[in-house]
Amino acid sequence: METFSKSSVVVAVVVVAATTWLWRMMNWLWFKPKRLENRLRNQGFDGRPYRFLKGDMKEAVEMLKEAKSRQMDITDDAALRVFPFPYHTINNYGKKSFTWFGPVPRVHLMNPEHIKEVLTKVYEYPKARGPNPLTSLLARGVASYNGDKWAQHRKILNPAFHQEKLKLMVPVFHRSCKEMVDEWEKVVKSEGITSCELDVWPYLQNMTCDVISKTAFGSSYKEGSRIFELIREMGTLIVQIARQIYIPGWRFVPTKVNTRMKLVHKEIQESMEGIINKRQKAMRMGDDAVSNNDLLGLLLESNNKDGYMTIEEVIEECKLFYFAGQETTSTLLAWTMILLSKYPAWQERARQEVLHVLGTDLNIDFTALDSSSLSQLKTMTMIIYEVLRLYPPATQLIRVVERDTKLGDFVLPAGTQMALPAILIHKDPEIWGDDAGEFNPERFADGISKATKNHNQQGAYFPFGWGPRICIGQSFAMMEAKMALAIILKRFSFELASSYVHAPSTEALTLQPQFGARLILHKL
């Protein structure tokens, strides 16, 4: 009888546990999504009906695959190739629409005022985390943190990007850019003529890697090249994972992608630990050649104070800056050279400005260059702003609603995600005018605030984010890009090669030219 009683208790516990688990799963995969869908539809939002588990992911992946199979012209909207499902959803259901990211509804915010509010209230609208924990392996630094931890890390990192620190980096920018252009000249000379065809994309990547290595970590691209290779590979793997429906526990299954992700992560961690240990050893030995003023120095200094970063957190911040520190600038430079090749009048206008501001000597003396000289390049600034409008490094930002929140004239229910699609907002004719899809840097002649139809429309332009969480390296990227373009424009003119294939892609997270940037360089 006693044995029977114990067995009954065990069975009852198992039944209760199984029932609870089943209820939670059904609530997550069906009841909650349907409740959220009803609440959104009752407020005028529209989209495809929710489908169990997968939502819209299957159709989104298929549409993306189909879009990538089509050829496109440089004047076509990049969103058609890298953002087709949200693009067509908004066209079909209107600006007040949503898509399904698995069982999670994702509302598209197309109103600049709403975007401004969301990006300003960083505590109310935190960054969304991917459902698969493996996606966080790339970097869990300041860009991914929320709340007080984000504020603490941002405060520690800010001094590394103050204007006075950036001024000290100008010579480093110059040397790395000049070395790249010198390589281009060698290639041209080897052809025995004054021009040649070259894919400038890998050169731009290597140059920006060299800059971030020297300015942030006191090393060089050669020393950190393996880390860059691994981080790029991890970015590609994360994109693959993000396009799959995640089932809890699936990350532990030894699939090809899961296994490779963990191996790449392990090697990156070990490489970063090696760089940090090398710096710590030099600091302990009082090596005068070691500077604590770069990013790594600031991070390690904070590690020595109570309540600041642990070594693990230092590693995560280093990984983040290895990735973001070169991806943003290299893609910006690639798209700028591609568009200036397409629009030679703007290329020549930028060149004449460089010659006027920096002199006609083809070999720029970096001692005559500083941040104030670069800030005088107004036409170049207009061009860069326009390139970032058409080809923002991050095509969209995602925020999450943790509690029912009023935004404008509607209430977003807890559990909803918000998509802030820069690649669509930046080309909305209602915001930018009838020429929204065209390359026209002149729109920025009076600055960003007056570039839209209704002046000072904050929240309409956010290639680096906006508000308190705006990219901490924005000024760094702009200064580096201006330096590189100034040197390039002084020594080369360029045009699109007939072999150039226009194929914007987000296969490595940021918006990149999938098949490179094949140009014809003409030595001046």
Summarize the annotated binding site for heme as residue ranges. 471
Burial grade of 284 (CB within 10 A; 0-12, 13-18, 19 or more): exposed
Q: What angle (nearest 5°) sits at the alpha carbon of residue 387, between those of residues 350 and 342?
A: 65
Spell out the residues 6+ positions from residue 326 whose beta carbon is closer than 8 angstroms to its own.
205, 208, 209, 211, 212, 228
Report the residue count for the chain. 524
Tokens (6 digits) for 306: 């109570």
Phi and psi of 106, rounded to 5°? -120, 110
Give the residue from 332, 331, 350 showing the smallest Cα distance to 492. 350
Burial grade of 263 (CB within 10 A; 0-12, 13-18, 19 or more): exposed
* DSSP H or E segment with residue 195: strand 195-199
Rounded Cα distance, 361 and 38, in Å? 66
The binding site comprises: 471
Spell out the residues 6+ positions from residue 94 whose beta carbon is closer than 8 angstroms to its own.
46
Which position has the token pair 């429309």?
A: 457
Beta carbons within 10 angstroms of residue 227's beta carbon? 24
Tokens (6 digits) for 299: 């991070």
Rounded Cα distance, 429 and 424, in Å? 10
- Cα–Cα separations (whole angstroms), residue 382 to 336, 353, 442, 458, 522: 11, 12, 7, 18, 24
Give the residue from 131, 141, 128 showing the smallest Cα distance to 268. 141
8 A C-beta contact, residue 277 and residue 253: no
| H-type alpha helices, 27-162 | 32-42, 57-68, 79-82, 84-93, 112-120, 147-157
Tokens (6 digits) for 501: 């294939």
Give the residue from 79, 144, 69 showing the smallest Cα distance to 110. 79
